[in-house]
Amino acid sequence: MLTFKTRLSQIAKTNGKVILANDYDPSVKNLETKTISNIKKLHPYLCAVKLNFHLLLPLSSKQVLNINKTAHRYGLQTIADIKLNDIGNTNRVTTENLWKMGFDAVIANPIMGLDSLKNLVKSAHKNGKGVITLCHMSAPEAKLSYDMEVKMRKKQQLYQLFLDWALEAKVDGIVVGATFPKIIQYCSKKAGRKLSIFSPGVGTQGGNASEVISAGTNYLIVGRTILNAKKPTDIAKDLQLDSLGK
Amino acid sequence: MLTFKTRLSQIAKTNGKVILANDYDPSVKNLETKTISNIKKLHPYLCAVKLNFHLLLPLSSKQVLNINKTAHRYGLQTIADIKLNDIGNTNRVTTENLWKMGFDAVIANPIMGLDSLKNLVKSAHKNGKGVITLCHMSAPEAKLSYDMEVKMRKKQQLYQLFLDWALEAKVDGIVVGATFPKIIQYCSKKAGRKLSIFSPGVGTQGGNASEVISAGTNYLIVGRTILNAKKPTDIAKDLQLDSLGK
């Protein structure tokens, strides 16, 4: 079985590097039908779909499995974005639940600690699944928390430590917000081909697709910019072109 | 409407300070029925029930609402333990979903940043709900991550910064693992009555109930020690006594 990283990069070769963040407000009805219709309409311009609590909380596991199966039918990968950061036992049970629901990868927060992260990656890879860890987020507040100066063996910023841990734990990719292109550049240079870089925050949050792709982002995570557009297909197509421009 | 903090402390006066962490493996069938039966059997010895991804992922929102309603019928509070750490928009949508499902409080990770945390607390309190933030976890790896030396305005450990943020954001309580009694003591001394201290990790993970209660823990979060016991009611009763011994 191919790894998550390979599966994702293969579909990205033809479809481009846009990942749909399918995040709807609780006011939106028929979440399952809407998401499936999005996949059917937008799949030629996507390599993956990312689901967050927006869908994971209101929908049943059967409904989420149905969404993941639809994505797979069109060759897309699926990512559960729960920013997991728990004790070993809970991480294990949580990912078992996610794999049962058909997900290909999970987003986790390395704040759980390096040993916990290593265990998570080991068990995910054994199941042909992927782990993506937060390195630096897209929100403006991330400057305070993820840029925090820390000291373990050496003095560094928190995101530098998280990058080191991502490399040491052999995770598949890291999240670095599209709103911090300089940090993308730093991580891309240091990680080389060992880690894929996933960047949310393009569009609505202020990130620029071409700029972050040049900085070293491998995948653009885009939600509201596509979902709230008058013609979502046109926006997805444009972003696909930007993502393939590299 | 009373605040979450007051509601919890009122029921704790008669029922003691034990919170059931209702965490079952994916191998367990009939999660909804089992949880409801736990509440019916154990409620005289509990003040709250905590649900994690173990139940939130496999169950539908209707099933979770049913569990929360049952807990409320017996006067218990309910806490969603998702260690939330996302951007503002997702935090808002996630908590809206949780309140719809009947939860009284959410556990969050302050790594999201102080401003994000302040917004989360403000919106939760407006809805009569509570926010509990991680300060120091129960897992052994937490020593590396949550004890990390950080420097913002002053040099401190990460958990000290998280404690400062919890106080500044006016959260209702903090999580400090029962496996680190000295850190409980530090936090209890510094936070006084401003924050309730919630301690997981009693029993299976190695924490001692009486010791952490003396150190300043306000609530014991207990899962496997009760769930996997031959006579769960007896264990819950013992822990209740320990918790009232203070």
CB-CB neighbors (< 8 A) of A224 in chain B: 89
Is pLDDT at A229 greater than 60 in this prediction?
yes
- Going by C-alpha positions, the residue among B67, B53, B52, B58 that lies closest to residue B102 is B67
To the nearest whole angstrom, how far is the Cα of B58 from the nearest Cα of chain A?
Answer: 5
CA of B148, closest CA in chain A: separation in Å?
7
Tell me which chain B residue has its CA closest to the CA of residue A165.
Answer: B145
Q: Determine the pLDDT at residue B246.
A: 46
Q: What is the dihedral of CA A105, A109, A113, A118, to 10 degrees?
A: 10
Mutate to test the interface with A, among B89, B92, B162 (most CBs of A within 10 A): B89
> Which residues from A are below 8 Å from B82, CB to CB?
53, 82
Predicted confidence band at A244 (pLDDT cuts at 50, 70, 90)?
confident
Q: Determine, for residues A139 and B112 on separate chains, whether the beta-carbon distance falls below 8 Å.
A: yes
* Interface residue of B90, B138, B222, B227 to substitute, partner A, most A CBs within 10 Å: B90
Q: Annotated active-site positions of A, please?
A: 83
Could you tell me what percentage of chain B is helix, strand and coil, using 3-state DSSP and rounding each to the nearest 5?
A: 50, 20, 30
Q: Do A25 and B60 touch (CB under 8 A)?
A: no
- Interface A–B counts its CB contacts (< 8 A) at 174
pLDDT at A246: 46
What is the nearest CA distance from A79 to chain B, expressed in angstroms? 14
Asked if the Cβ–Cβ distance from B149 to A144 is below 8 Å, we say: no
Judge contact between A18 and A203, C-beta under 8 A: no
Shortest CB distance from B101 goes to which of A57, A61, A139? A57
Q: Is the pLDDT of residue B149 over 80?
A: yes
Task: Residue B60: list chain A partners with CB under 8 A.
Answer: 59-61, 63
ipTM score assigned to the predicted complex:
0.94
Per the DSSP assignment, residues forming a β-bridge with A222 are: A20
Per-residue pLDDT band for A199 (boundaries 50, 70, 90) equals very high
Instruction: List alpha helices for A4-106, DSSP H.
Output: 4-15, 31-42, 53-56, 61-73, 88-100
Question: Which CATH number is B129's domain given?
Answer: 3.20.20.70
Element (H, E) at A188: helix A181-191
Q: Is B145's CB within 8 Å of A58's CB?
A: no
Instruction: Give the model's pLDDT for residue A101.
Output: 98
With a cut of 50, say whether residue B65 has pLDDT above it.
Answer: yes
More confident residue, A62 or B207: A62
Q: Which of B177, B34, B52, B46 is nearest to B107 (CA)?
A: B52
Determine the average pLDDT of the residues in A201-225: 91
With an 8 Å Cβ cutoff, are A149 and B152 in contact?
yes
In percent, the amount of chain A with pLDDT more than 90 equals: 87
Residues of A in contact with B199 (CB under 8 A): none
The pLDDT of residue A213 is: 94
Residue A26: per-residue pLDDT: 84
Q: Does residue A109 surpass a pLDDT of 90? A: yes
Query: A59 and B56 in contact by Cβ < 8 A?
Result: no
Q: What is the pLDDT of residue A228?
A: 93
Q: Give the count of domains, chain A.
A: 1
Q: Measure A14 CA to nearest chain B CA, in Å.
A: 30
Percent of chain B's residues with pLDDT above 70: 100
Pick from A59, A111, A151: CB nearest B111: A111
Q: What is the pLDDT of residue B188?
A: 97
Q: For B214-219, what is the mean pLDDT?
A: 96
Q: Do B93 and A158 touch (CB under 8 A)?
A: no
Mean per-residue pLDDT of chain B: 94
Query: What is the tens place of the pLDDT at every residue in A138-182?
Result: 888 888 899 989 988 788 999 999 999 999 999 999 999 999 999
- What mean pLDDT is predicted for residues B178-189? 96
Kindly determine whether residue B205 and residue A139, on different chains, have CB atoms separated by under 8 Å: no
pLDDT number for residue B144: 83
Identify which has the larger pLDDT, A245 or B166.
Answer: B166
Instruction: State the average pLDDT for chain A.
Output: 94
User: Percent of chain A, pLDDT > 70?
Assistant: 100
Q: What single letter denotes the amino acid at residue A48?
A: A
In this predicted structure, the answer to whether residue B139 has a pLDDT above a threshold of 70 is yes
pLDDT at A134 over 50: yes
Range of the domain at B209: 4-244
Q: How far from the centroid of its chain's Cα atoms is residue B160's Cα?
A: 19
